[in-house]
Amino acid sequence: METRKKDHINLASQAQLFEQEVADSFYYEPLLTSNELKPLPKTKFLNKELSLPLWVSSMTGGTLEARKINQNLAKACAEFCLGMSLGSCRSLLESNDRFDDFNVRPIMGPDLPFYANLGIAQVEKVIQENQVDKINELIFRLQADGLIVHVNPLQELLQPEGDIYFNPPIETISSLLEKFEFPVIVKEVGQGMGPKSLEALFRLPVAGIEFGALGGTNFSLIELMRSNDLMLEEMGDWATIGHTAFEMVEFINLLPKELVAQKQIIISGGINPLSGFYLKQQLQAPSVMGMAYRFLKYAREDYNQLRNYILMIQKSLQMAQNFLHKI
Ligand SMILES: Cc1cc2nc3c(=O)[nH]c(=O)nc-3n(C[C@H](O)[C@H](O)[C@H](O)COP(=O)(O)O)c2cc1C
């Protein structure tokens, strides 16, 4: 007790919040509930059930470290009933050598949503070569529920070894949907999408979209940092182009309701539990919050660190459920 009181006196000087830092996204109602934390309701997403409205966004594969990361992430999904998508499975289209890095369905079990991932350039190539069955086989081998296609034009153009694709992604996705047997989700990788791209996507029979919005991990910046100082200095502005998750929620809410109601949305791009809770409340479509980097940080270390982090997210969401009301 005495130490606690001393801490309060010593820490007060560092604990001054200035007006502009105060979150104004919710009404905070401290008098209406106890502070006992209650279980969160289950979330139905992509025809399966999650215990937390959380998605492990596409990250990695193809290295030994990636295998350990994917296995830790899948173990967390199994323990907390979360959904997960793999990082780009491009290498598996050509060979099975790195299959074990990605093979986490046995860890997740059959009841959670699990998606493979390919870039739009690979999808275009497979379609041009009339080999869509290669993707069907990939999904089958991984026992995945479907495919997430990432659309990343800026990343491809800013990386020295980037791929060029020749058709508008919306046409490639449309062709894929005609020939492919599984659900498809489309995402960006950190710069989001504007209203016209979103509307065009919502008009296709995709199962859903993932934002990959501007605000968190930024692949233009990663590629610029991988290139050279001149590129970083002169083309650095490209890392600021795009749309935040806040903007994307507004764009989607302005679309005709019948377009939006059937789609499943993964809100991602620098999301933390409070911003995710807020955006989920605002968005007029079924959604979960997706995170990549925040999970990666802990999944690289050991399973317990990842587990503790997810317990913290759970606590934050339970606190939000008690005290935060929509404005
Ligand atoms: C290390 C790393 C690798 C990633 N690799 C992929 C990928 O292969 N395919 C993909 O669609 N997105 C990939 N992403 C992007 C994420 O899925 C996500 O859209 C983006 O990082 C925003 O989430 P965040 O801000 O929570 O990190 C990767 C992200 C990270 C951090």
Write down all domains in the chain, each with its CATH number in brackets: 42-326 (3.20.20.70)
Is the beta carbon of 280 within 6 A of some atom in ligand 1? no
Cα 86 to Cα 70: distance, rounded to the nearest angstrom: 8
Cα 271 to Cα 221: distance, rounded to the nearest angstrom: 18
CA 93 to each of CA 3, 71, 134, 145, 254: distance values in angstroms, whole numbers, following the listed order: 59, 21, 7, 17, 38
Confidence (pLDDT) at 251: 98
Compute, in angstroms, the gap from residue 56 CA to the centroid of ligand 1: 10
Task: Please give the backbone phi and psi of residue 59, each rounded to the nearest 5 degrees, phi first.
Answer: -135, -65
Q: 């999301």: which residue's tokens? A: 271
Length of the chain: 327
User: Maximum distance among all alpha carbons in the chain?
Assistant: 73
Is the beta carbon of 268 within 6 A of some atom in ligand 1? yes
Nearest alpha carbon, ligand 1 atom 17? 58
Task: Find residue 148's DSSP bridge partners.
Answer: 117, 185
148 near 207, Cβ under 8 Å? no
Pick the atom of ligand 1 nearest to 57's CA.
Answer: 17
Is the beta carbon of 212 within 6 A of some atom in ligand 1? yes
Nearest alpha carbon, ligand 1 atom 3? 59
Q: 């495919």: which residue's tokens? A: 147
Segment (H or E) for 41: none
Compute, in angstroms, the gap from residue 320 CA to the centroid of ligand 1: 26
Compute, in angstroms, the gap from residue 266 CA to the centroid of ligand 1: 13
Is the beta carbon of 293 within 6 A of some atom in ligand 1? yes
Q: Give the global pTM.
A: 0.95
CA atoms within 13 A on the CB side of 63: 7
Compute, in angstroms, the gap from residue 137 CA to the centroid of ligand 1: 24
Contacts 24+ apart (CB under 8 A), 273-282: 273/313, 273/316, 273/317, 273/320, 274/23, 274/25, 274/316, 274/320, 275/245, 276/53, 277/316, 277/317, 277/320, 277/324, 278/25, 278/26, 279/245, 279/246, 279/249, 280/53, 281/326, 282/249, 282/253, 282/326
Mutation test residue for ligand 1: of 54, 56, 57, 101, the one with most atoms within 8 Å of CB: 57
Cα 115 to Cα 133: distance, rounded to the nearest angstrom: 17
> At a CB cut-off of 8 Å and minimum separation 6, what does 1 contact?
none
Compute, in angstroms, the gap from residue 192 CA to the centroid of ligand 1: 12
Is the beta carbon of 242 within 6 A of some atom in ligand 1? no
pLDDT digits (tens), the chain, 327 positions: 788 888 888 888 887 866 666 667 899 999 999 999 999 999 999 999 999 999 999 998 778 889 999 999 999 999 999 999 999 999 999 999 999 999 999 999 999 999 999 999 999 999 999 999 999 999 999 999 999 999 999 999 998 889 999 999 999 999 999 999 899 999 999 999 999 999 999 999 999 999 999 999 998 999 999 988 898 889 999 999 999 999 999 999 999 999 998 899 999 999 999 999 999 999 999 999 999 999 999 999 889 999 999 999 999 999 999 999 988
Pick the atom of ligand 1 nearest to 270's CA.
Answer: 25
- Token pair listed for 266: 């993964």
Pick the atom of ligand 1 nearest to 293's CA.
Answer: 27
Nearest alpha carbon, ligand 1 atom 14? 59
Is the beta carbon of 190 within 6 A of some atom in ligand 1? yes
Is the beta carbon of 108 within 6 A of some atom in ligand 1? no
Is the beta carbon of 122 within 6 A of some atom in ligand 1? no
Mutation test residue for ligand 1: of 217, 248, 267, the one with most atoms within 8 Å of CB: 217
Compute, in angstroms, the gap from residue 85 CA to the centroid of ligand 1: 10
116 near 144, Cβ under 8 Å? yes
Compute, in angstroms, the gap from residue 25 CA to the centroid of ligand 1: 26
Is the beta carbon of 85 within 6 A of some atom in ligand 1? no
